[in-house]
């Protein structure tokens, strides 16, 4: 009787385990490389991102209404050495009067031929076209033509807009491509912000109910500035500076928000969600992108934190004063630094700060906003003093 009881318990356990769903596979993490002109900084950025991001989606070719066609000046030797799967992105501006399928196809085929001639093996082509809903039927016809012309071994994907969810044409459009990339940043009035995680989550769920093919979410790891425009929408300044005066309102995607969203998507991914694609690969001199340290921490789901601390470098009584951030989260410049001092002959603040001086105290106060990248530091000023008491000094976030 004991034997049969144990057998029944064992069979029940086996049946219960068989009914349990296996854990969802981890979401793939990819990167957009969106610089039009490659620089030596790309080498370190690609090297340091290789362990955490599986695929590179590289801006390759662009078409604009007045400027016409332009190629991104990539470094093919660097991409070949990197070795990750490579998807060429073709940007067709949404303001184009129409899609000349023969011209566009010829440009894409020439680009593909040139890249392959440089030793690059492509894992796909992505078309980035901000088509209005009224133009989706024509866009579908173009994609059908392009899919027939491209080699069957080259997958075709598109960057997609949440506004397309309102169109009855969307299912037919998605049927023409192998996958889609739903962009959930910079798709609304910029005055409302760069990114809304709650809205992004809703769009992803809605997209999963329409498509039967893999899709990705394009997420922001960057910021922009809004410049005032008299009588109209503000001008958006991104990685390319705009020569124009006026106060700039800086908008930066919040790593804490994106980290939370990533955790939620990993725990409960919408149907058909294959991964996340981060815009964009940050270079060391990219002032409007997260540091690569922060981007990697968000992609991994690490706990985020910044730890600002005073750093002093002294030589012959001359102190260089800076603030370091040894954490994994980029931080705003501190609002104020106070230094307990003795016998100071002179001191001054560097750009972005101002100095108030007393015999026993130096106070550096922030004049404008800025960021200290994770693992980096920022010079604040200098002082020639007999002594600075680092233990009695404070950094005020």
pTM above 0.85? yes
- Residue 195 confidence (pLDDT): 95
- Residue 242 confidence (pLDDT): 77
Is 309-396 in CATH node 1.20.1300? no
Q: Give dist(CA 151, CA 147) in Å, integer.
A: 8
pLDDT of 41 strictly over 80:
yes
Q: Give dist(CA 201, CA 204) in Å, integer.
A: 5
The per-residue pLDDT for range 225-261, each reduced to its tens digit, is 888 776 667 778 777 777 776 677 889 999 999 999 9
- Residue 236 confidence (pLDDT): 81
CA-nearest of 254, 217, 252, 220 to 237 is 252
Helix axes 292-300, 255-267, angle to 10 degrees: 30
Domain covering 28-300, topology: TIM Barrel (3.20.20)
Alpha-helix residue ranges (DSSP H) falling in the chain: 2-19, 41-49, 76-82, 101-117, 136-149, 170-175, 197-210, 255-267, 292-300
The per-residue pLDDT for range 61-79, each reduced to its tens digit, is 999 998 999 999 999 999 9
Q: Residue 346 CA to chain centroid, in angstroms?
A: 43
Q: How far is CA 106 from CA 92, 126, 218, 294, in A?
A: 14, 16, 28, 40
Residues forming CATH 3.20.20.80 domain(s) in the chain: 28-300
- Residue 21 confidence (pLDDT): 39
CA-nearest of 37, 43, 33 to 240 is 37
């Amino acid at each position: 009787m004991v034997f049969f009881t144990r057998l029944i318990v064992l069979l029940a356990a086996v049946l219960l385990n068989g009914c349990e769903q296996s854990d969802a596979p981890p979401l793939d993490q990819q990167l957009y490389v969106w610089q039009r002109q490659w620089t030596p900084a790309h080498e370190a950025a690609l090297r340091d991102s290789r362990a955490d991001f599986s695929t590179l989606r590289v801006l390759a070719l662009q078409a604009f209404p007045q400027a016409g066609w332009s190629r991104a000046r990539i470094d093919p030797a660097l991409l070949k050495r990197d070795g990750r799967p490579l998807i060429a992105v073709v940007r067709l501006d949404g303001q184009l009067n129409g899609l000349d399928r023969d011209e566009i196809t010829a440009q894409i085929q020439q680009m593909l031929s040139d890249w392959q001639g440089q030793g690059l093996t492509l894992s796909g082509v992505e078309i980035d076209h901000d088509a209005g809903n009224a133009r989706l039927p024509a866009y579908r016809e173009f994609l059908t033509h392009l899919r027939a012309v491209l080699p069957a071994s080259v997958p075709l994907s598109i960057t997609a807009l949440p506004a397309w969810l309102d169109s009855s044409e969307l299912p037919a459009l998605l049927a023409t491509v192998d996958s889609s990339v739903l962009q959930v940043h910079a798709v609304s009035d910029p005055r409302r912000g760069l990114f809304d995680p709650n809205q992004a989550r809703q769009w992803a769920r809605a997209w999963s109910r329409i498509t039967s093919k893999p899709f990705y979410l394009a997420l922001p790891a960057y910021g922009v500035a809004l410049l005032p425009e008299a009588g109209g929408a503000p001008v958006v300044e991104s990685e390319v500076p705009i020569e124009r005066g006026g106060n700039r309102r800086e908008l930066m995607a919040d790593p804490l928000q994106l980290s939370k969203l990533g955790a939620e998507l990993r725990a409960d991914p919408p149907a058909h969600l294959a991964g996340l694609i981060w815009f964009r690969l940050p270079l060391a001199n990219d002032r409007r992108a997260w540091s690569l340290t922060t981007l990697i921490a968000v992609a991994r789901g690490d706990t985020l934190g910044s730890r600002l601390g005073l750093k002093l470098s002294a030589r012959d009584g001359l102190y260089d004063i800076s603030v370091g951030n040894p954490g994994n989260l980029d931080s705003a410049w501190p609002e104020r630094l106070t230094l307990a001092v003795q016998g100071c002959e002179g001191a001054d603040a560097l750009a972005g700060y101002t100095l108030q001086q007393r015999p026993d105290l130096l106070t550096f106060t922030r004049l404008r906003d800025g960021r200290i990248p994770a693992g980096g530091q920022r010079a604040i000023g200098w002082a020639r003093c007999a002594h600075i008491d680092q233990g009695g000094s404070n950094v005020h976030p």
